[in-house]
């Protein structure tokens, strides 16, 4: 992980002296947040998503075990590593704490160097896991998210759209005649096109929550949460036009530059519990094939199509 990015720690303890002590010894290297009770700990963990939580076991409103259980029930906080801190020093208590899937157990009174080393080790683990996950979710050629990453994001946004009764839109994009392009100009030029189109798609998504990925081969997808069909078509047209403006040099061609265009399929709906995610994807895919059959370099919606260029 970039060393300029500081990891964050949420410290939960009902004793102010412990919060002050832990903040003092850890604050130089990490961003520190604090909470004095279980209720505020769950709230802050959900809002801040710290890298690690240091959690006291004995507190007045909720025990550390109850806080851990509450965090494990929430998707957003389920994977945050938790280190218990406590004055309970028996082997039975330590075994119980670890059986709750805490990653470590620190006894009071604290020994500063031991605390620092244990936190350092856990932070290293967090960063290593995060790096591995990021690499596994990234398409190595285009450096945008891959299909696995997209599937995970789509599942999350689909559930949110059902819960909040908001529209969700999907764009399926395919580079026109890419095999012919590869055969004519070579795979290296084909890779340049894939990277250029991926970058153009990402730049065409203006909102932070919009999400683009490489679906496979020369096909890409874009997910637009809280976006209806009209908004999705606007984004699709912007991307189509921007790709058409790309200028890829081709030494093997009699022309100085080879044209690059894409076809797009668009599907939008407000899903409910009876809606099918597979049919949602299939409808966008069908629209994409309609766009290609209708002449390429255009946008279609399922069952109908819109010829974008005149």
Catalytic residues: 218
What three-state secondary structure class fits 91?
Answer: helix
Distance between CA 262 and CA 219 in Å, rounded?
A: 9
Q: Which residues contact 114 (CB under 8 A, 6 or more apart)?
A: 106
**Torsion angles phi and psi, residue 12, rounded to 5:** -120, 115
Helix (H) or strand (E) holding 258: strand 257-258
Do the strands 304-306 and 257-258 form a parallel or antiparallel pair, or are they unpaired?
unpaired
**Judging by beta carbons within 10 Å of its beta carbon (0-12, 13-18, 19+), is residue 120 exposed, middle or buried?**
middle
The three-class DSSP label of residue 203 is helix
The CB density around residue 179, as the number of other CB atoms within 10 Å, is 11
Single out the residue of 298, 262, 269, 263 nearest to residue 283, CA to CA.
269
With contact defined as beta carbons under 8 Å apart, do 10 and 26 qualify? no
Nearest C-alpha neighbor of 46 from the set 74, 23, 69:
74
Whether the CA torsion 251, 253, 254, 259 is positive or negative: it is negative
Nearest of 233, 185, 235 to residue 210 by alpha carbon: 235
């Amino acid at each position: 992980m970039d060393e300029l990015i500081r990891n964050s720690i949420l410290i939960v303890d009902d004793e102010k002296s412990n919060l002050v002590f832990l903040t003092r010894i850890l604050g130089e290297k990490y961003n520190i947040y604090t909470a004095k009770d279980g209720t505020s700990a769950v709230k802050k963990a959900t809002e801040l998503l710290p890298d690690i939580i240091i959690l006291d076991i004995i507190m007045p409103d909720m025990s550390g075990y109850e806080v851990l259980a509450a965090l494990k029930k929430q998707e957003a906080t389920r994977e945050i590593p938790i280190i218990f801190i406590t004055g309970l020093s028996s082997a039975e208590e330590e075994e119980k704490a670890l059986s709750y899937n805490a990653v470590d157990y620190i006894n009071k009174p604290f020994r500063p160097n031991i605390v620092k080393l244990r936190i350092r080790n856990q932070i290293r683990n967090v960063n290593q896991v995060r790096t591995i996950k990021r690499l596994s979710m990234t398409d190595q050629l285009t450096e945008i998210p891959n299909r696995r990453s997209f599937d995970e994001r789509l599942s999350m946004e689909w559930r949110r759209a059902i819960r909040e009764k908001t529209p969700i839109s999907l764009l399926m994009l395919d580079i026109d005649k890419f095999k012919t392009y590869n055969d004519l100009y070579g795979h290296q030029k084909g890779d340049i096109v894939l990277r250029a189109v991926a970058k153009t798609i990402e730049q065409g998504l203006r909102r932070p929550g919009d999400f683009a990925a490489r679906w496979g081969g020369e096909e890409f997808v874009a997910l637009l949460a809280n976006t209806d069909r009209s908004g999705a078509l606007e984004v699709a047209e912007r991307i189509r036009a921007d790709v058409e403006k790309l200028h890829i040099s081709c030494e093997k061609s009699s022309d100085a530059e080879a044209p690059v265009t894409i076809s797009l399929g668009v599907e939008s709906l407000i899903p409910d519990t009876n809606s099918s995610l597979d049919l949602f994807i299939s409808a966008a895919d069908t629209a994409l094939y309609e766009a290609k059959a209708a002449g390429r370099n255009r946008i279609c919606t399922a069952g109908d199509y819109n010829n974008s260029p005149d």
